[in-house]
Amino acid sequence: MALQIGVLGYRFMGKAHSNAFARLPMFFDDAPDIERHTLVGRDEEALADAADRLGFAHTETDWETAIENVDVFYNLGPNHLHPEPSIAALEADVPVFCEKPLAPTVEDAERMATAAADSDAIAGCAFNYRFVPAIQYAKNLIDAGELGDIRHVRGKYLQDGWVSPEDPWSWRMDEDLAGSGALGDLGAHTVDLARFLVGERAGDIERISGHTETFIEERPMEEENETRPVTVDDAYSAQAAFEDGAMGTFEASRMAPGHKNDHTIAVHGTEGSVKFALERLNELEVLREDNRGYETVLVTDESDPYVEHWWPPGHVLGWEHTFVHEDYEFLSSVAAGESYEPSFESACEVQRVLDAVERSDERGEWVAIE
């Protein structure tokens, strides 16, 4: 029997996951059967149009009612809508997949992680970059000890979407709705990838020294002759200390001209290094101990993670395929009744790191992850 999927949100992430739902049966023979059952939103007219385009059979303006009628609940709404619907679904033992960051605050993230621990249902968080084949390839190298002892992890995420003071205000600019700015929106991805890639070899992040900055303190409202204050960060940077002695350096900005979606992460060890850039996501730069320079590995062979489901070698994948991979893993876990990573607890650990960056900035000192 098909899993009936309910989705809160039909814009950016709603489209990304709906596309993935449609692709799953075409390319993953062992994917569970699913039905795009209920799409949830506020505007009935826009909702009906979105449901028609995205292939959902039903619409609902009340997320509580939607939860009662589906087998799996995808919470893809704005950050402030992550806690209550997700917790309600878990209390009803309905599996939940939630967008990142897990919540606007660490307190809300901890409530969500507790609800997941107390529920019989599976809960997962949408860190889709874990499911890039090149990232999986890098993790396999690191876990196998190919880089030796880990010394450095460097990650940055740069965008230029709000460089101009005339770029309009959105909910992502509001602390109550978003929690944080570039820190949560972009930095959450970097912190999760760092923990994912080196956690087995370097331990977790123990302490942080962070800096956040808001460059433009108010922005115009679209189609209105007024401005609203910006109450989140435009950029952050942080130094991190890992349990086993590795150093981390992280940064993100929404105000870096010339950078559209520039997410990079590098790991350096005693016997080699790897470098990954999202804008070249089919490639991994690998340096081994006996090499004089980096080798560019095109991660598109049939033996590479997930690639066997797609095209012949060299026929590259794109950003949208990461959602197919993560939905395949999550929904397969739900169907089998098995655990899934990244879990709500893993996402809560990311939130604790983000919280430490803000606390460090406020205090002007290193702080421990709490």
pLDDT at site 18: 98
pLDDT at site 280: 97
pLDDT at site 48: 96
Cα 209–214–219 angle (5° rounding)?
Answer: 160
pLDDT at site 222: 87
Q: Which helix (H) or strand (E) segment is 73 a member of?
A: strand 72-75
The number of residues making up the chain comes to 370
What contacts 357, CB < 8 A, 6 or more positions away?
A: 183, 187, 208, 210, 212, 236, 238
Residue with tokens 């039905």: 35
pLDDT at site 83: 98
Cross-strand bridge partners of residue 256: none
Cα 356–104–205 angle (5° rounding)?
Answer: 30
pLDDT at site 225: 87
The side-by-side arrangement of strands in the sheet containing 58-60 is: 58-60, 34-40, 3-8, 72-75, 96-98, 123-125
pLDDT at site 171: 95
- List the chain residues with pLDDT less than 70: none
What is the per-residue pLDDT across 44-84, written as a single tens digit (0 to 9) for each?
Answer: 999 999 999 999 999 999 999 999 999 999 999 999 999 99
Nearest-angstrom CA–CA distance, 56 and 53: 8
Query: Radius of gyration of the chain from Cα atoms?
Result: 20
Residue with tokens 């000192």: 365
pLDDT at site 158: 98
CA proximity to 230, closest of 218, 220, 221: 218
Global pTM reads 0.96
pLDDT at site 315: 96
Nearest-angstrom CA–CA distance, 100 and 347: 8
Q: Tell me, what amino acid is at 55?
A: G
Instruction: Give 219's Cβ-side CA count (13 Å radius).
Output: 22
pLDDT at site 1: 86
Residue 357: Cβ-neighbour burial (10 angstroms; 0-12, 13-18, 19+): buried
CATH numbers and ranges of domains, the chain:
3-128 (3.40.50.720), 131-318+350-363 (3.30.360.10)
